[in-house]
Amino acid sequence: MQKNSFARAGRTGAAATAVALGALALVLAAPLSASAHVHVDPGQATPGSYSTLTFKVPNESATAITTSVVVDLPTDTPFTSVAYQPVPGWTAAVTTAALPEPVTVGDATITEAPVSVTWTADPGAGVADGQYQLFPISAGPVPDVGSILLPVHQIYSDGSVVDWNEPTPASGEEPEHPAPTLYIGEAPPAEEGAASASVTPTDAAGAGSASDTASGSAATVAADAAATGSLALGLGIGGFVLGAAALIVAVVSGARRRPATAAAEDSK
């Protein structure tokens, strides 16, 4: 009788602990999965600079691997110089084409410019489930505009394509497939700012001009906002973790007390 009571209490405690651990996993996974999108880092740049932009591409398919990544570059405010950093296991190419309309950059009129960068996985390579890959480029000079969308097309081995091309509204509410955005003369939305790192790019045009000073101030304000958003997110996750941990401790403690109580009752 006493042995059966111990067994029942042990099974109950183990089941309750498993449920609590599952709840903890869901709590931790929720904020992480929400940010598992294609991002560009840093998310801000200074006009006139040549910036290193790194695209972080996670695989979001459980049945296929990412075999190709294409980044669209702006054609209305083009970069005149784009270079890629070699990525082991991938072949990269910069595509240059005629612009829809001539663009004046400084004293020059530009009629063609880099319009996309494509990475293609070598045989046996690619981004599998649970993995991500970084794709860095150097681009410049950064145009003096508010922001630039850098849409990314993610191609999978099963032929499916995910287009990360939706602009993030000023409210900061992230769409289903947000386009990586480079903020230049304007601050990023609150949530986008929390996901992007601050940047101190190399300014090829020199320092000390009024426009550079204003841009630097804007970048500082945006960086402070990003830090505040990251702190708030961290505190929120910490609260969830502590609550779930307390639940697990309570369940385990209760499971340990149950056998003693059952034994006392059986002895009566």
Q: For residue range 17-53, what is the model confidence (pLDDT) as tens digits?
A: 444 444 444 434 333 344 578 999 999 999 999 999 9
Q: pLDDT tens digits, the chain, 268 residues: what are they?
A: 554 544 454 554 544 444 444 444 443 433 334 457 899 999 999 999 999 999 999 999 999 999 999 999 999 999 999 999 999 999 999 999 999 999 998 888 999 999 999 999 999 999 999 999 999 999 999 999 999 999 999 999 999 999 999 998 877 788 999 999 999 999 888 754 444 433 334 443 333 333 343 334 444 434 444 444 444 445 455 554 445 555 554 544 555 555 544 445 555 4
Both tokens of residue 223? 């960086």
As a CATH number, domain 40-186+199-206 is 2.60.40.2230
Dihedral pair phi/psi, residue 240, rounded to 5°: -60, -45
Name, in order, each residue with C-beta under 8 angstroms of 136's C-beta and a sequence gap of 6 or more.
Answer: 52, 53, 54, 55, 84, 85, 87
Say whether pTM exceeds 0.75: no
